[in-house]
Amino acid sequence: MERIVHIQDNFSIEGLTEFLVRAYHIKGYSVIVNKFGTGAQLEISKNTYGIASILGLSESIRVTYSILSPSTLSVVFSDDKWTDKIVVGAIGAVCCGWIPTITAAVGAFNQYNLPRNILENINVYSISN
């Protein structure tokens, strides 16, 4: 899924990257940064191991952004983590009762909102700088 964000002339990829890393570290996410030319790629994840992952509560996404023109930033979201939620939801619905189904639904809700939340943070940074 690609989104286009309008940016100002003094926009800084490094500043955006630092802003996002700080914002998601505060929320308990792990953030891996790969910088390249006029952009960067972030792997943002939370609860990707242990019982939270088994219950479908993990969140993970890859965000790649780069400057297309002096006033345009391309933001691409990929590698969403949906498999655990689908498996836990199906198993819970068939044989384990409602608890795994609820945790899978909560995980799916959080995963669904993750790209939107990241895009909101990017917009906040682009407007404020």
Question: Per-residue pLDDT tens for 81-117?
Answer: 656 556 666 666 667 667 777 877 888 888 889 999 9
Domains held by the chain: number = 1
Q: What percent of the chain has pLDDT over 90?
A: 53
Cα separation, 69 vs 8, in Å, equals 10
Cβ neighbors of 60 (< 8 A, separation 6 or more) are: 43, 44, 45, 46, 48, 79, 80, 81, 111
Q: What is the pLDDT of residues 47-68, one digit of tens each?
A: 888 887 777 788 899 999 999 9
Average of per-residue pLDDT across 17-45 = 96
**Using 50, 70 and 90 to split pLDDT, how confident is the model at 5?**
very high
**Containing domain of residue 39, as a range?**
2-128
Looking up residue 13, the CATH number of its domain turns out to be 3.30.530
Mean pLDDT, the chain, as a whole number?
Answer: 86
Average of per-residue pLDDT across 67-89 = 79
Provide the whole-model pTM.
Answer: 0.85
Q: Which residues pair with 5 in a beta bridge?
A: 73
